[in-house]
Amino acid sequence: MRSKSNLSQGYTLRAAKSGDAQKLYEFGKVLLAETSFFLRGPSERARSVDEMRLIIDRFEELPRHLLLTAWFDDQPIGEAVVMGGELERNRYTATVGVGVLQAHTGNGLGRKLMEGLEFFAQQAGLHRLELTVMSRNERAKNLYQSMNYKTEGVRTHSLYIEGTYVDEIVMAKLLETGPK
């Protein structure tokens, strides 16, 4: 997947490749240190470039998985993931997530990444995309709602971040693809 449509000059979206491991490892540390809106903290992502390479390789191997990356010139500035179910009964459901460096937010890149995930999901025959978003992350909630993700519930006090319990909102979107 490679796309430049409707992106500002210098931006590119594409699937992560094994050769991106060093840059994506460094990017991940910065992304997770910028905000507490992610499930993982900076030390809980890949612990080395080799581990990042293994993660990328695993995403490439699994048919309903995608690690979609956003680049500005030759540096990663955003990523989005689709992780499809691997069992017969959940193979049409996938968990999705997106993250963009703060210096590149507000220009539609998060939306483009989500649209890229949805395109991939349709091609992969997925039917349900689901995610959780922290209740205090208004920008992300607004993006997902504008893309027709529906709130299904609240996971009360599901996270403990910086001395405070945080609720997660469970959201999902049904696609026209999948078994009938």
**37-91 tens-digit pLDDT:** 777 766 777 889 999 999 999 999 999 999 999 999 899 999 999 999 989 999 9
Tokens of 47: 């612990």
- Predicted confidence at residue 18, as pLDDT, reads 94
- Domain 2-131 in CATH 3.40.630.30? The answer is yes
Q: Which residues lie across from 128 on neighbouring strands?
A: 93, 174
For the whole model, what pTM was predicted? Answer: 0.88
> Cβ(99)–Cβ(78) under 8 Å?
yes
Q: Domain boundaries in the chain?
A: 2-131
Phi (first) and psi of residue 89, to 5 degrees: -80, -20
- Residue 9 to residue 42: CA distance in whole angstroms: 30
Instruction: Give pLDDT tens digits for 36-48.
Output: 777 776 677 788 9
